């Protein structure tokens, strides 16, 4: 019978080994090239000359013994090289995950921030690029501060526009000087908004 997690309990996080296949495969490419070149060098510089020496042996009995030993060397060496290559690839994937994972979470956090739904980015222990965690947090705080200031400024201008509209709707005649003062006041408030960025007059 399956057990259900307690309310408020933290769900276990399943860590994927591959989060950015293109980047992680490119990171493994030097290792693959190294293993292939190493295998080609061993085959060309060691096993091929040994095979030639075995085939050149005139005594059939000695040749059979040498061939059996050479086959035994093949059966021992190539599986060991393959196992070492697979282990190295696994370790390489884990290392690339420490880079690809933070970059993936950073991209997701910045995309959410662009949509106005920013969440704090959290890197795991051992991740690279952990310096971006604080950078994103500071950027998030600054964006929220800018948004709050812009909202307050726009609400203030909206209030002024509404009061002016109410006066016009009531049939009140507004003097030109009052209108100019109102426009200057509204522009002064809008120029304080970092996102609006009205150019200053020279």
Query: How does pLDDT run across 47-93, given as a tens digit for each residue?
Result: 999 889 888 888 888 889 989 999 999 999 999 999 999 998 888 88
Core vs surface per residue 20-53: b (16+ CB within 10 A) or e: beeebeebbeeeeeebeeeeeeeeeeeeeeeeee
110 and 39 in a common domain: yes
- Which value, in Å, is the radius of gyration of the alpha carbons in the chain? 35
Location of structure tokens 């600054």: 142
Paired tokens of 56: 């050149």
CB atoms within 10 A of CB 136: 21
Same domain, 157 and 81: no
Provide the number of structural domains found in the chain: 2
Residue 52 or residue 124, greater confidence = 52
> Of 67, 97, 123, which residue is a domain's last?
123
Band (pLDDT 50/70/90 cuts) for residue 118 is low
User: How does pLDDT run across 136-195, given as a tens digit for each residue?
Assistant: 777 777 877 877 887 877 787 777 778 777 777 777 777 777 777 777 777 777 776 655
Pick from 123, 125, 143: nearest CA to 133: 123
pTM of the model: 0.53
Distant-in-sequence, close-in-space partners of 89: CB < 8 Å, separation ≥ 6: 28, 31, 32
What integer pLDDT is reported at residue 29 of this predicted model? 87
Residue 14: what are its φ and ψ, rounded to 5°? -90, 115
Q: Is the pLDDT of residue 15 over 70?
A: no
């Amino acid at each position: 019978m399956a057990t259900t997690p307690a309310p408020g309990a933290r769900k276990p996080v399943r860590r994927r080994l591959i989060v950015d296949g293109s980047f992680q495969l490119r990171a493994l490419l030097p290792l693959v090239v190294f293993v292939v070149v190493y295998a080609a060098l061993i085959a060309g510089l060691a096993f091929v000359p040994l095979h030639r020496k075995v085939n050149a042996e005139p005594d059939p009995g000695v040749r059979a013994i040498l061939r059996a030993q050479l086959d035994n060397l093949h059966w021992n060496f190539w599986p060991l090289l393959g196992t070492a290559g697979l282990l190295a690839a696994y370790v390489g994937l884990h290392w690339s995950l420490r880079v690809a994972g933070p970059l993936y979470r950073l991209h997701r956090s910045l995309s959410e921030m662009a949509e106005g739904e920013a969440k704090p980015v959290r890197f795991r222990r051992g991740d690279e690029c952990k310096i971006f965690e604080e950078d994103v947090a500071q950027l998030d705080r600054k964006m929220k501060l800018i948004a709050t200031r812009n909202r307050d400024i726009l609400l203030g201008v909206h209030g002024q526009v509404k009061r002016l509209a109410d006066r016009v709707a009531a049939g009140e005649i507004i003097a030109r000087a009052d209108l100019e003062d109102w426009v200057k006041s509204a522009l002064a408030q809008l120029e304080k908004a970092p996102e609006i960025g009205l150019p200053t007059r020279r």
